[in-house]
Amino acid sequence: MLDINFIRKNTKKVKQAVRDKGIDLNVDKLLEVDKKRREVIAKIDALRGEQKKISNEARNTQHGTRNKLIEKAKKIKFRLEKLEKEYAKVKSAYDGLMARVPTVPSPNTPVGRGEKDNKEIYVRGKIPRFGFKPKNHIEIGKNLDILDLERGAKVGGYRGYYVKNEGVLLMLGMMNFALRKMMKKGYRPMLPPTLVRGFSLFGSGYFKGMDYDPATDEIYQIASGDKEADGRVSKEKKFLAGTAEPTLLAYYSGEVLKEKDLPLRLCGFSQCYRSEIGSYGKETKGLYRVHEFMKVEQVILAETDVAKTNKLQEEMIKISEELLSELGLPYRKLQICTGDMSPGKYRAFDLETWLPGLERWGETQSASNFLDLQARRLNVKYINSKGEKKFVYMLNNTALATPRTFIAILENYQQADGSVLVPKTLQKYVGKKVILPK
């Protein structure tokens, strides 16, 4: 959530952000509800002050006067109960509207409606030219006997898949390669939980509103019950995380950090789960869009300095570029426009890798700067040199993910005889230089 004081002082900017990001939100309505909220709070505070005053007077007066004061206190209590119910209703409306307020995007963010308006910054690497018609990863995976989609669908359902034989070593090698790179760059590695409480998903912006909505949120909720440490049946909802980002960001939730420890660099390896309900009918075959995969995610918690976080964001995406370059994969860098950017993002970049078999670019990495929006929701602060408590700025990026990078390797390294060369950086993990057809 944004700071309400910022919204009041910068209403025009917030309204423009709402329009540019295509968000259904009436900012004037929010300000009206905020005004009503403050009025009710003022009334409650005034009555509580009067209630306290009467309580003090009642202790120091005689019986008759005390009875009158007690009657007056009862009336105040009744009025307070009505106001507190009114406040709960107003606060609920206020919180719901605040959850939809977007971060004002950076001044250099392209204004556009969707992915077609994203700005290509540059292309890196050589797009391969084949002396034969390149196959897609589905055909390649089947011929090499490293991918089984039919049995994957039989056992796992729609978008299910099995990775087999050398494919397993290739995928795990990619993850190991990425983790080692992150550690060399000063990122602290973690294996975070993938079964999580809702606050981490709301805090990081993976709920569209205040609570989980199965109609819009591409998240799996766990249906089975759970028990608390004392044996009681838990009423708390649990979810499967779609990335390590929420759990890494929530690691310091409710804590106050020290400025000298910032920026904090974290990376997490995890299995990821996404329902992909908003992608019905898209990429229905193959591995491009699946319900579960593995990923190495990087996260930074930094001081409240926009210029510094912009540099940190560039650092993050440069690491992903290094990974793709060392894998020998051609890619391009895009700056994401307002209409293709989620509400909480200040600035975002994607890396798209060339997929010869699919004959197009495919998103493989995404680096985002959220400023303090996520930190406010998760309540992560730090104490600066002046002794002031500030919300940290939070950034995240995909270092490397499967299976899209897996697709890119199979399709870019395919040979005329049906074999696939293993990138040099991954040969020590796979144990061979080439994967042959079976």
Q: Which residues are catalytic?
A: 274, 289, 363, 366, 404
Q: Is 424 exposed, middle or buried, given 0-12, 13-18 or 19+ CB atoms closer than 10 A?
A: exposed
Closest CA to 104 of 376, 391, 370: 370
Read off the tokens for 429: 């993990």
H or E segment to which residue 67 belongs:
helix 63-98
Q: What is residue 131's DSSP assignment?
A: S
Rounded (5°) CA angle 168-170-173: 105
Number of CB atoms found within 10 A of residue 284's CB: 11
Rounded-to-10 torsion of CA 46, 50, 56, 61:
170
Distance CA 55, CA 418 (A): 87
Which conformational region is residue 89 in: left (phi greater than 0), alpha (psi within -120 to 50 degrees), or beta? alpha
Closest CA to 65 of 80, 77, 54: 54
